[in-house]
Amino acid sequence: MNHLSIRLNRLSMLAKDNNLGGFAFVPGPNFMYLTGVNLHLMERPTIFVVCADGTQFAIMPLLEKQKWSKAMPAAKTFYWSDADGPSSAFTWLADQCGSIALGVEGLRMRMAEYDALCACWQNNKIFDADSCLEKLRILKDASELKALRRAIEISEISLKETLDDTAVGLTELQVKARLQQAMLSNGAEGFSFDPIVLTGAEAANPHGSSGDRQILPGSCLLIDFGASYGGMHADITRTFFCQHLSEEHHMIYDVVYAANEAGKKAVSIGTHVGAVDDAATSVLEASPYSNMILHKTGHGLGYDIHEAPQVMRGNNTPMLQGMVFTVEPGLYKSGEIGVRIEDDIYIGPEGADCLTSFSRDVQFFG
């Protein structure tokens, strides 16, 4: 049994455990995880359904027939053309599935697909299934871990090359472009997300946008990025300093570093995920900079950049072998500086395995 068959069987068990007749997916991380087919979510409605008994159905734009039929020959598929439109495909799907309770991806499915399903589904038995689908990808298998390790390796090699070539006067956008080029040159298949490269006061915005701001002596340079490889995404943040830094900025950095270490040390099989956030955030709260805390400690990582488990207080999900999540505490002083240190953690047989190795010590450039 190959890894896709194992995943599809696990999905069928999830449906049964949650009293659902099946799940419907649109192109995205779950779709690719279950089929190995990477399709874009575009103007042409595309649906893949897996029933509790393992039966598979799909409605697919005709132009994807060659790719889909080769990858998923077991799926009974209605191919619709642009000239005919998808209406008949949705009617066919409803007839094939019957009056089953259907779970959908509440955070991903668009109104276009949802309305089309509801228009022809018997008894309107369509439910948001995100809460139970979280369990589908929460434990990574060997193939996923291998791809993630490669994505991280590419990312870290590229970060070093970029930092070695960064100097006073370069803009955020110039550094970002060099980082992206380095990742592609080193084997990345794409980017986990649009890299965040911020300097000085702009770094105090955790999800700020890179611009034409120049790097100046004494300023920080926050880089949050990751390479994609084999469908998996690295997610790494480091904060550097141009030539020198003030005593207070050094103190802020040291607190974030200590919080990062505390969070990683709290990773333990069987302990609840919220304990990691509690350990890291407690360090931040005990510092003179507690008013600079803006976010939780981390999130799950894999085919999605943000997925289960959420590393935050109150999350009582037990840590299990196979989970991957980030530990990324940060402090942000509005109008002045932002510091974040982010590592990717895999829970192996012995507990925490930090997949990221790029130095967390204060580093200078320029």
Q: Please check the confidence at residue 91 and state whether its pLDDT lies above 80.
A: yes
Any idea which residue has 């100097």 for tokens?
167
- What's the chain's average pLDDT? 97
Residue 190: count other Cβ atoms within 10 Å of its Cβ: 14
CA distance 340 to 22: 41
Is residue 107 located within the same domain as residue 162?
no
80-101 mean pLDDT = 96
pLDDT score recorded for residue 123: 72
Residues 221 and 238 in one domain: yes
**Could you tell me which of 57, 14, 66 has the C-alpha nearest to residue 39?**
66
Q: Are residues 127 and 261 in the same domain?
A: no
CATH code, domain carrying 59? 3.40.350.10
Strands 56-61 and 76-80: parallel
What pLDDT is recorded for position 89? 98
Say yes or no: 227 and 124 in one domain: no
What CATH code is carried by the domain that includes residue 279?
3.90.230.10
Q: Give the range of the structural domain holding residue 53, as residue numbers without chain letter.
A: 3-133
In sequence order, the 6+-apart residues with CB closer than 8 A to the CB of 182 are 157, 158, 159, 161, 162
Helices and strands, counts by H and E, the chain: 10, 20
User: Which one of 78, 99, 133 terminates a domain?
Assistant: 133
Does 277 share its domain with 321? yes
How many other CB atoms are there within 10 angstroms of residue 121's CB atom? Answer: 20
Say which DSSP state 290 is in. Answer: G
pLDDT digits (tens, 9 = 90+) for 96-139: 999 999 999 999 999 999 999 999 997 779 999 999 999 999 99
Task: Determine contact, residues 208/124, Cβ cutoff 8 Å.
Answer: no
> Are 339 and 331 a contacting pair, CB within 8 Å?
yes
242 DSSP 8-state letter: E
Tell me whether strands 102-104 and 22-25 are parallel, antiparallel or unpaired: parallel
Residue-wise pLDDT for 297-334, tens only, equals 999 999 999 999 999 999 999 999 999 999 999 999 99
Tell whether 126 and 157 lie within a shared domain.
no
For residues 236 and 342, the answer to whether their CB atoms sit within 8 Å is yes
Read off the tokens for 319.
């840590």
How far is it, in rounded angstroms, from Cα 96 to Cα 364? 62
User: How would you label 301-336 residue by residue, b for 16+ Cβ within 10 Å and e otherwise?
Assistant: bbbbbebbbbbbeebebebeebbbbbbbbbbbbeeb
Q: How far apart, in whole angstroms, are the C-alpha atoms of residue 323 and residue 165?
A: 35
What's the N-to-C CA distance of the chain in angstroms? Answer: 53
| Residues 340/364, Cβ–Cβ less than 8 Å | no
The answer on 197 and 78 residing in a single domain is no
- Out of 133, 165, 186, a domain closes at 133
Beta strands 22-25; 307-311: pairing state:
unpaired
Question: 212 and 297: one domain?
Answer: yes
Segment 242-287, tens digit of pLDDT: 999 999 999 999 999 999 999 999 999 999 999 999 999 999 999 9
Q: How far is 281 from 331, CA to CA, in rounded Å?
A: 10
Last residue of a domain, one of 98, 133, 168: 133
298 shares a domain with 199: yes
Q: Are 55 and 36 in contact (CB under 8 A)?
A: no
The pLDDT tens digits for 204-236 are 999 999 999 999 999 999 999 999 999 999 999
Q: What's the one-letter identity of residue 9? A: N
- Give the separation between CA 366 and CA 361, rounded to whole angstroms: 17
Burial of 184 (0-12, 13-18, 19+ CB in 10 A): middle
Q: Say if residue 1's pLDDT is above 80.
A: no
- Decide the pairing of beta strands 236-242 and 364-365: parallel
- Backbone φ and ψ of 324, nearest 5°: -130, 130
Tell me: cis bond preceding 27? Omega within 30 of 0 counts.
no
> Is pLDDT at 361 greater than 80 in this prediction?
yes
Q: What is the pLDDT of residue 297?
A: 98
Same structural domain for residues 219 and 84?
A: no
CA angle, residues 331, 252, 288, in degrees to nearest 5: 85
Residues 15, 63, single domain; the answer is yes
- pLDDT-derived band at 57 (thresholds 50, 70, 90) equals very high
Cβ-based neighbours of 278, under 8 Å, separated by 6 or more: 266, 313
Q: State the pairing for strand pair 220-225/227-229.
A: unpaired
One domain for residues 120 and 157:
no
Q: Is the pLDDT of residue 202 over 90?
A: yes
Integer-rounded Cα radius of gyration of the chain: 23
Q: Is the pLDDT of residue 81 over 80?
A: yes
CA distance 214 to 196: 15
Q: How many domains does the chain have?
A: 2
Answer whether 4's CB lies under 8 Å from 35's CB.
Answer: yes
